Amino acid sequence: MKKIIYLLVAWRVFLFIPLFVSQIFLKLREGFNYTTPLHYIGSHNPISHFLFYPWANFDGVYYLSIAGSGYTVDNAGFFPLFPILINFLSLNSGVFTVQQFLVGMVLSSTLFLLSLIVFNKLLMLDYKRNISFHTILFLLLFPTSFFFVTIYSESLFFLLLIFSFYFARKENWFLSGIFAMLLTATRFVGIAIIPALLFEFFVQNKTFLSKKIISLLLAPIGILLYAWFNFSQWGNALHFIEAQGKVLNNRSVDEIILFPQAIFRYFKILTTTFVNYEWWIALLELSSFIFVSSLFYVAWKKKVRASYLIFGVLAFLIPASTGTFSGLPRYVLVLFPIFIALALIKNKWIKIAYSTVGIILLFILFMLFSKGYYIS
């Protein structure tokens, strides 16, 4: 466990280097200042320093706004548990205050540390120590892993996800159901935990006819409560889905668009449009889809636990079936079976290539993200 903590500290320190480099060589992206806290705070605010404000860029702005002043009709696409925790721990100190910002930062970092500790315990149920270590290493080296310690819900979602599976493996279905309930109150794709846990329950008990399965009825309560809140506020229980479609990401929320159509759309973009920044992001999104799809195949061939794969594939296909892969490079962070698959690959050159490319892209992408360039 010490090696994992040392690894996390080294990774966390490394992430400050792109901030220094971007401050020297990049300016804030013109016309996108609204994506950073700088747009909402004074220049004398301590969090306006270049080592601080980037950690709350893009979605972080929404989470801090919700934590400080509540929901509006436009930001309902962001699920409530993460901003509720920021609000509670910062004692509702207002919007974009130093206290609120620091709470968000400490919360994300602490939750991610806890998630790696529990993740290691979950991995050790099936694999040797070196596989566990390399799984976590490859997770940290993924090009968008910096989102785990920004003021985003990634770290909270990952912790709740791992806890849900860990207690399911320990046959503590009540706690597994509690954490699954919190998971579905954190992000929409949390609903993918429900069929995964039901399958795990059947594998362990060989039947669904057991009183213990009642605990899993807790799982959908999180999203149902948020749906009820949406209905009470805006007269539409599914308003949060509509709101997600308004976040300028070309996402379809009123129909399922099979991913082959999205792939065709991306090939068309890459072969017929002018090469600019958005072209490179489109390449990143398509590459993420292809890379992760390949790793799910490897995970299946390597016999990664079926319940993990059920969650991973469903949580992958939900955003990939909206007509766009926008956000996919970040969404795949929590799909832990793909990192198990990477650790189980025996070819060392594949692992070296992944690690090298991962470090380079992690540096570049966080540098761009810190200056208001959309990544995911």
**What mean pLDDT value characterizes the chain?**
94
Most trustworthy range by pLDDT among 130-139, 207-216, 267-276: 130-139
When pLDDT is averaged across residues 323-348 and rounded to a whole number, the result is: 97
- Whether residue 94 has pLDDT greater than 80: no
At 2 the pLDDT is 84
- Whether residue 246 has pLDDT greater than 90: no
Query: Which has the minimum average pLDDT: 44-53, 137-146, 274-283, 284-293?
Result: 44-53
Query: Which has the minimum average pLDDT: 33-42, 139-148, 213-222?
Result: 33-42
Percent of the chain with pLDDT over 90: 85
At 1 the pLDDT is 78
- Whether residue 312 has pLDDT greater than 80: yes
- What's the rounded Cα separation, in Å, for the pair 311 and 25? 41
At 184 the pLDDT is 98
Max Cα–Cα distance, the chain, nearest Å: 63
At 39 the pLDDT is 87
At 221 the pLDDT is 98
At 315 the pLDDT is 98
Nearby residues of 126 by Cβ (< 8 Å), 6 or more positions away? 305
- Whether residue 205 has pLDDT greater than 60: yes
At 250 the pLDDT is 61
At 122 the pLDDT is 98
- Whether residue 252 has pLDDT greater than 90: no
Q: Which long-range contacts (CB under 8 A, 24 or more apart) does 117-122 make?
A: 117/1, 117/4, 118/159, 118/162, 118/163, 118/166, 119/158, 119/162, 119/336, 120/1, 120/4, 121/166, 122/162, 122/165, 122/166, 122/169
- What's the rounded Cα separation, in Å, for the pair 131 and 129? 5
At 259 the pLDDT is 81
At 273 the pLDDT is 86
Structure confidence at residue 367 as a pLDDT band (50, 70, 90): very high
When pLDDT is averaged across residues 250-265 and rounded to a whole number, the result is: 76
- Whether residue 169 has pLDDT greater than 70: yes
At 247 the pLDDT is 65
- Whether residue 63 has pLDDT greater than 70: yes
What pLDDT digit, counting tens, does each position of 27-59 carry? 999 989 889 998 888 777 888 999 999 999 999
pTM, rounded to two decimals: 0.96
Alpha helix ranges (H) inside the chain: 2-14, 16-25, 59-69, 81-89, 98-123, 129-140, 154-169, 173-184, 193-205, 221-234, 239-244, 259-272, 277-301, 306-320, 328-331, 337-344, 348-369
At 245 the pLDDT is 72
- Whether residue 248 has pLDDT greater than 60: no
Q: Is the dihedral of CA 291, 294, 296, 302 positive or negative?
A: negative
When pLDDT is averaged across residues 275-288 and rounded to a whole number, the result is: 96
At 255 the pLDDT is 66
- Whether residue 26 has pLDDT greater than 60: yes
- Whether residue 254 has pLDDT greater than 90: no
Percent of the chain with pLDDT over 70: 97
When pLDDT is averaged across residues 340-355 and rounded to a whole number, the result is: 97
At 54 the pLDDT is 96
- What's the rounded Cα separation, in Å, for the pair 298 and 347? 13
Structure confidence at residue 150 as a pLDDT band (50, 70, 90): very high
- Whether residue 249 has pLDDT greater than 70: no
